[in-house]
Structure 1
Amino acid sequence: MVVEQVKGRLVRCCSGLLVGLAMSGAAAAAVEGNASLTSDYVWRGSSQSDGDPAAQAGVKLTSSRGWYASAWGSGVSFQPDNGARSEFDLVAGWSGAVANDWAVDVNLTRYLYPSANVDLDWTELNGTLTWQQRYWLQVGVSDNALAGGHGGTYAQLGARLPLGEAWRLEGAIGHYWLDSAQSDDYLHGQLSAVWRVHGPWELRLTAHDTDRAAQRLFPGNAGSRVEFALQTTF
């Protein structure tokens, strides 16, 4: 009930944000985009593209006061095949500094799979606390986690380490607490090496691993895997 109340308030607030941005014009907002081509779309330790490459792109509109709305899409493929070929994430929220070196991002994310022949759409309330833009703690809560009809809480602790101007390392470990009626909880980790090739263009190599609970939940799409991606912002 609490989650539903918070989601309702965020939806009303973000609806007002979008109207306000539209009325105030481009001078009060910034627009940025991103695009990537990855050898395997891996999300929270599990492949969302059945181990195949995926093209991805997104756009984000941010107001001068920190409110934002974004849309992001990727190709997907699941086993057993449920007809899903694309995923669209619609996000509305607020981000900004709350103290020296500390920043917060709170948002509502709606995951959509328009071509699926079963109902895979679901919503999650997310919050991320960042320190010095290098360390973060993310928590996501949903009463319909993974569109499974049960509650779930996800937490991720991560860090990035710059290695000069062109290189950096990024690592994270995440844990998904799922309702026992849906699945066992599972743990995953990832480690990335990122090379800024030229301007906004980057190459990312990421090693992923999960525990056995994830492999039981996502047979064939969890466990150890390597992802290679070319990414950019504009």
Structure 2
Amino acid sequence: MSLHLFPGQRVSAQVIATRSLAGLVLFAGTALSSHAATVSGSAAIANDYVWRGSSQTQGDAAVQAGFKASAESGWYASVWGSNVEFAPETHASSELDFIAGWSGGLSDDWALDVNLTHYRYPSTTVDLNWTELNSTVTWKQNYWLQVAYSPDALATDERGVYAQLGARLPVSDSVRFEAAVGHYWLEDAYNDSYTHGQLSGIWAFKAPFELRVTAHATDSAAKRIFPDLAGSRVEAALQASF
């Protein structure tokens, strides 16, 4: 069942999203507390922060970090953060993603990850916060299909659906390539939708460090929706997992 919001219903959308996220976080927290939890983290320095084909930092550098607690049952909760730079009037300078969900194997070849992601921008003077339901199916650890839905996509009061198809090609123990193509249906919010693609080369040169270089490209619709932020660009990041 899909939920369509009309203008003026943003409070209702936020209440639904907040209650859903709070309920899932509470459930995940209970699951984590009742089982031994594994804590992991990541950190990265990048020349740009590109999300679904468009820059979130106006092409400037980004510093990012995240932590994740996982239970043997598959339930997990995580938080991830980055600096951002939007339109000056928003005063947006940081993003925090709060995620709660479940991931696990469905069979020898298939795995599933389902989560609620809450995007929060604590430094803004306008309300840019929104929540999205994500699901990713993975086959043989190297191929994936992601589908995401929000009744308040990009904090617009309107629904949006995103889908991404991707593949991973290991070349050696330290080198791999990844490619993905995504499409974002935003007709309700922007009377348009757009497609983007990305190709990454990853070199795990010394544990736990990796160097990732990603070439991004979008269609002309993305440039209309996000002027000066979409298009072709290269994102390079030094990242570590611990």
TM-score, scaled relative to structure 2: 0.90
Residue 30 of structure 2 corresponds to residue 16 of structure 1: no
Letter in 2 for 1:226: V
CA distance 1:6–1:13, shift in 2 (3 Å): same
**Residues 131 and 151 of structure 1: CA distance in aligned 2, closer, same or farther (over 3 Å):** same
- For 1:177-223, what per-residue CA distance to the aligned partner results, in whole angstroms no more than 9, with x for missing partners? 11344341000000001001101200011000001111111110100
Please give the alpha-carbon distance, in whole angstroms, between the structure 2 residues aligned to 1:10 and 1:97.
23
The question of 1:143 aligning with 2:154 is answered: no
- Contact 2:149–2:161 (CA<8 Å) still a contact in 1? yes
1:81 to partner: Cα distance: 4.2
Query: Structure 2 vs 1, CA of residues 220 and 80 (structure 1 numbering), >3 Å: closer, same or farther?
Result: farther
Match of 1:105 in 2: 113
Matched, 1:83 2:91: yes
**What's the CA shift for 1:80?**
4.6
Q: How far apart in 2 are the matches of 1:51 and 1:81?
A: 18
Distance 1:7 1:81, change over 3 A: closer
1:156 alignment counterpart? 164
Q: Distance in 1 between matches of 2:71 and 2:169?
A: 29
Unaligned runs of 5+ in 1: none
2:241 corresponds to 1:230: no
Q: SS at the partner of 1:18?
A: helix
Distance in structure 2 (CA, Å) of the matches to 1:215 and 1:195: 31
Q: What letter is aligned with 2:129? A: D
Q: Which runs of 5+ in 2 are unaligned?
A: 4-12
Within the candidate set 206, 210, 215, 1:202 is matched to 210
Give CA deviations for 1:155-189 in whole Å, capped at 9, x if unaligned: 00000100111110001000001134434100000
The separation in 1 between residues aligned to 2:17 and 2:89, in whole angstroms, is: 34
For residues 47 and 160 of structure 1, do their structure 2 counterparts lie closer, same or farther at Cα, with a shift above 3 Å needed?
same
Task: Specify the code of the residue in structure 1 equivalent to 2:94.
Answer: S
Q: Go from structure 1 to structure 2 and tell me whether the alpha carbon gap of 1:211 and 1:82 turns closer, same or farther (over 3 Å shift).
A: same
CA RMSD in angstroms, aligned pairs only: 1.8
CA distance in 2, matches of 1:15, 1:160: 34
Q: 1: distance between equivalents of 2:79 and 2:131?
A: 14
Distance 1:155 1:7 in 2: 23
Alignment-derived partner of residue 53 in structure 1: 61
- TM-score, scaled relative to structure 1: 0.93
* Residues 132 and 150 in structure 2, CA contact (< 8 A), matched pair in contact too: yes
Q: Is the 8 A contact 2:157 2:189 kept in 1?
A: no
Question: Residue by residue, what CA displacement relative to the aligned partner does 1:105-147 show, whole Å, maximum 9, x if unpaired?
Answer: 0000000001111110000000000001100000000000011
Looking at structure 1, the residues matched to 150 and 168 of structure 2 have their Cα atoms a distance apart, in angstroms, of: 27
Letter in 2 for 1:156: Q
Alignment match, 2:127: 119
Contact kept, 8 Å, 1:50 with 1:79, in 2: the verdict is no
Is the CA contact (8 Å cut-off) linking 1:7 and 1:108 kept in structure 2? no
Tell me how far apart the structure 2 counterparts of residues 183 and 225 of structure 1 sit (CA, whole Å). 25
Residue matched to 2:101: 93
191-200 or 4-13, larger mean C-alpha shift? 4-13
Counterpart position of 2:139: 131
In 2, are the aligned partners of 1:67 and 1:93 still within 8 Å (CA)?
A: yes
Say if 1:73 and 1:87, in contact at 8 Å, map to a contact too.
Answer: yes
Asked if the contact 2:67–2:80 (Cα under 8 Å) also holds between the matched residues in 1, the reply is: yes
